[in-house]
């Protein structure tokens, strides 16, 4: 199929449709609204469910309900809306019901603004709701990758009975790029063996996150933890660029990673042996592959559109082996390649003196 220009939000929506999404529930919020708008037109056209809920809280609970029936359901929102959804996300996690959620992040805290941001990193990877769990968090950096990850996300969600969150930012949602859309999949006809499909001819099934007995709840949690450990061991995704001979490494995700790639190319032309490490999964964080690069490095630069969130994961991996510098912009300001280059030059001069920042 030929490549076509797609806007990020609409491409995500079409990819979900092609991946077999049967129901979408959501509530509009910039800079994600085109996803919902597209679904409002596209889902009914295919005889599938689109419903604009009265709030994000309602939307995520509708997703929960549909997903309990084994339906491939999704929602999408942007930062403040994700905060509202946290109760539902925790219930989904507690009852191990799979679903897909898109967060097209904007500046915060509070209402913040509608400009691009990556400041939901902690929220998505550490505290998507109360209780002990992590969603699987995927962070595409191009519209094509957003499509590919969305296409894979329902299989991941249902395979692991987990919440999958696609974390983009306003830039990814609003920009247009060439995309090759994957083929349309047939809708699932069989429901999973845990789904609530009516108990005709079988004993009833119960989906709940309520365990009043402490020992029972601990057992449920331990099962969940074991699954998360297995996911952490097998689901790390990442991409590296020019790392083979790199003395220095830039670590960035999503939109910032592609901006950093321009900076890495320019710094290479200026003679700095620098590479780029881009986590694709924010949880589980690709610790092993990053750790494997560390011994050859003299310094690391982390760039994010937040006050320094992923940098904590990077420091956990790098430890005190080499200096880790951080460049961040907040509130919707987007870092530019030239300032990343300038930071790199700083890093080179500092680590040349074997100084730890």
Partner 1 sequence: METSIVVSGFGGQGALLAGQLLAHAALASGLEVTWIPSYGPEMRGGTAHCTVVVGDEPIGAPLVRHPECVVALNLPSVDKYEPLVAAGGLLVYDSTLVQRPVERVDLCAVAVPASEVAQRFGSPRLANLVLLGALLALRPVVTLEAMGAALRDHLPERHADLLQNNLEALHAGAALGKG
Q: In the complex with partner 1, which residue's Cβ is closer, 48 or 258? A: 258
Q: In the complex with partner 1, which residue's Cβ is closer, 37 or 291? A: 37
Q: In the complex with partner 1, which residue's Cβ is closer, 93 or 167? A: 167
Q: In the complex with partner 1, which residue's Cβ is closer, 174 or 309? A: 174
Min CB(214)–partner 1 separation in Å: 50
Q: How many residues does the chain have?
A: 357
Residues 6+ apart with CB under 8 A from 355: 323
Q: Enumerate residues 152-181 that contact partner 1 by CB under 8 A.
A: 170-171, 174-178
Binding partner 1 by CB under 8 A: which of 142, 162, 220, 235?
142
Stretch that binds partner 1, among 63-71, 93-101, 216-224, 335-343 (CB under 8 A): 335-343
Min CB(170)–partner 1 separation in Å: 7
Q: Enumerate residues 209-268 that contact partner 1 by CB under 8 A.
A: 255, 258-263, 265
Residue 197 makes contact with partner 1 by CB under 8 A: no
Could you give the CA distance from residue 82 to residue 264 in angstroms, rounded to a whole number? 33
Min CB(192)–partner 1 separation in Å: 38
Q: In the complex with partner 1, which residue's Cβ is closer, 153 or 171? A: 171
Stretch that binds partner 1, among 54-62, 69-77, 84-92, 329-337 (CB under 8 A): 329-337
Residue 5 makes contact with partner 1 by CB under 8 A: yes
Binding partner 1 by CB under 8 A: which of 20, 30, 148, 289?
30
* Site size with partner 1, rule: CB under 8 A: 27
Min CB(246)–partner 1 separation in Å: 17
Binding partner 1 by CB under 8 A: which of 32, 75, 78, 115?
115
Residue 272 makes contact with partner 1 by CB under 8 A: no
Residues that bind partner 1 (CB under 8 A): 3-5, 30-31, 114-115, 142, 170-171, 174-178, 255, 258-263, 265, 334, 336-338
């Amino acid at each position: 199929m030929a490549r076509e220009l797609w806007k990020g939000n609409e491409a995500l929506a079409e990819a979900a449709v092609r991946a077999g999404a049967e129901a979408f529930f959501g509530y509009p919020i910039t800079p994600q609204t085109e996803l919902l708008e597209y679904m409002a037109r596209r889902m009914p056209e295919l005889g599938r469910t689109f419903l604009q809920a009265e709030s994000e809280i309602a939307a995520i609970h509708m997703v929960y309900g549909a997903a309990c029936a084994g339906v491939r359901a999704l929602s999408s929102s942007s930062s403040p809306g994700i905060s509202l959804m946290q109760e539902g996300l925790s219930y989904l996690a507690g009852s191990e019901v799979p679903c897909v959620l898109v967060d097209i992040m904007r500046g915060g805290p509070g209402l913040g603004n509608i400009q691009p941001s990556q400041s939901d990193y902690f929220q998505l990877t550490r505290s998507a709701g109360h209780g002990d769990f992590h969603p699987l968090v995927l962070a595409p950096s191009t519209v094509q990758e957003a499509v590919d990850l969305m296409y894979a996300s329902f299989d991941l969600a249902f395979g692991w009975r987990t919440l999958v969150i696609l974390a983009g930012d306003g830039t990814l949602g609003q920009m247009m790029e060439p995309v090759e859309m994957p083929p349309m999949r047939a809708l699932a006809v069989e429901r999973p063996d845990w789904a609530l499909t009516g108990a005709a001819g079988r004993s009833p099934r119960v989906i709940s996150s309520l365990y009043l007995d402490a020992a029972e709840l601990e057992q449920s949690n331990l099962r969940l933890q074991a699954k998360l450990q297995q996911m952490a061991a097998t689901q790390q995704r990442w991409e590296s660029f020019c790392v083979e001979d790199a003395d220095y490494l830039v670590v960035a995700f999503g939109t910032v990673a592609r901006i950093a790639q321009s900076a890495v190319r320019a710094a290479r032309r200026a003679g700095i042996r620098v590479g780029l490490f881009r986590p694709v999964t924010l949880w589980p964080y690709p610790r092993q592959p990053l750790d494997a690069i560390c011994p050859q490095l003299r310094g690391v630069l982390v760039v994010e559109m937040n006050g320094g969130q992923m940098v904590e994961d990077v420091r956990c991996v790098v430890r005190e082996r080499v200096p880790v510098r951080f460049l961040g912009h907040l509130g919707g300001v987007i870092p530019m390649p030239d300032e990343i280059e300038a930071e790199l030059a700083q890093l080179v001069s500092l680590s040349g003196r074997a100084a730890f920042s």
